[in-house]
Amino acid sequence: MKILKGKSGIAIELFIKTIALLAVVPIFLILGYIIYKGVPAISWEFLTEVPKRGMRAGGIFPAIVGTIYLTLGTIAVSVPFGIFTGVYLVEYAKDNILTRLINLTIINLAGIPSIIYGLFGMALFVIYFKLGVSILSGSLTLGIMCLPVIITATREALLAVPNSLREASLALGATKWETISKVVVPAALPGISTGVILSISRAAGETAPILFTAAAFYLPFLPQSIFDQVMALPYHLYVISTQVPNMPQSNMHGTLFVLVFITVGFNLIGAYIRNKFEK
C-alpha cells in the first residue's frame, strides 16, 4: 500500500511538473522569437531619432518617451489611491453589506475590457472635464483601469497579516495609524507590490485606453506638458502594423522588442522592491 502511494505521488508530481513546463515553454518561445527578430533592428538611430518618411524610417524616440510618461503618470494616479483605498476597506470600514458590495464591485471591475475604460476616459476626462487628448487624460484613464487590481491585492495582502501584530503594536501604546503605517503595511508590502507590478505592466502595454485619450498617430516632437498628445509604443506598433503600407518588418520587430524591454524593466524594478521588503 505504501509503495502504491509512493508511486502515485511520484506520478502526480511528474504530471504537475509537465503541466507547468507546458505552460512556461510557450512564454519563453515567444520571448525568444521577439529577441531573435528584434535585437538586429535595434540601433542608436532607431532609439534616438523621430519617425521619418511616413514612419517607414527613422526611430521611435517620441514613442519611447511617451510610453514612459504614461506609465509614470499611471503609477502616480493608481498606486496611492489604490493602496489607501485597500487600507481603508480592511482597517477602517465596517464589515457590512455596503462594504461587501464595494469589494464585489471592485473585483468585477478588474474584468472589464480595456476598451470600456478608454471610452469612459474619453467621455469623462477628454470631453466632460475638457482635458483634451493628452498625457493627463491617458494617465487618469490607465490609473482607473489599474485601481481594481491594486485595491484587491492590497486588501488581500493586509488580510494576510496576522492580527497578533496589530494587537502587539496597540498594546505597546502605538496609535491605530502608527500600527497601520509602521507595522501592518510594511508586512503586507510584498503582496501589495505584486498587484502593483501586474497592473502597471498591463497599463504599459495597453492600446485601447490611450487610443481615445492620449495617443497621437504621428508626432515628430516631444510633448511639452501633461496637456499635450503623445506617441506611445503600443499604439505606434498597432499603427505601423495595420495602417502603414510597405512597412519594413524590422521596424515592427524592433518596436515590439523595445516595448517588451520596457515592460520587463518595470517588472524587474517592482520585483527588486518586493524582494527588498520581503527580506
Tell me: the pLDDT tens digits for 7-43?
677 888 888 888 988 888 988 898 899 899 888 989 8
pLDDT at 246: 82
Measured distance CA(13)–CA(6) in Å, rounded = 11
- pLDDT tens by residue, 65-111: 999 999 999 999 999 999 999 999 999 988 889 888 998 899 888 88
Residue 5 predicted with pLDDT over 70: no
Nearest C-alpha neighbor of 51 from the set 70, 65, 32, 72: 65
What is the pLDDT, as a whole number, of residue 4? 45
What confidence tier does 194 reach under pLDDT thresholds 50, 70, 90? confident
Cα radius of gyration (the chain): 23
Positive or negative torsion for Cα 5, 8, 10, 12: negative
> Please, what is the average pLDDT of the chain?
88
- The answer on pLDDT for 52 being more than 90 is no
Check residue 204 and give its pLDDT: 87
pLDDT at 237 over 50: yes
Q: What pLDDT shows up at residue 3?
A: 46
For the segment 261-272, what is each residue's pLDDT rounded down to a tens digit? 888 887 888 778
Q: What is the average per-residue pLDDT within 246-259?
A: 88
Please name which of 89, 78, 99 lies closest in space to residue 146, comparing C-alpha atoms: 78
Read off the amino acid at residue 253. Answer: H
pLDDT over 60 at 1, yes or no: no
- pLDDT for 7: 67
Does the pLDDT value for residue 6 go beyond 70? no
The number of residues making up the chain comes to 279
| CA–CA gap between residue 30 and residue 41 (Å, rounded) | 17
Cell numbers standing for residue 76: 502616480
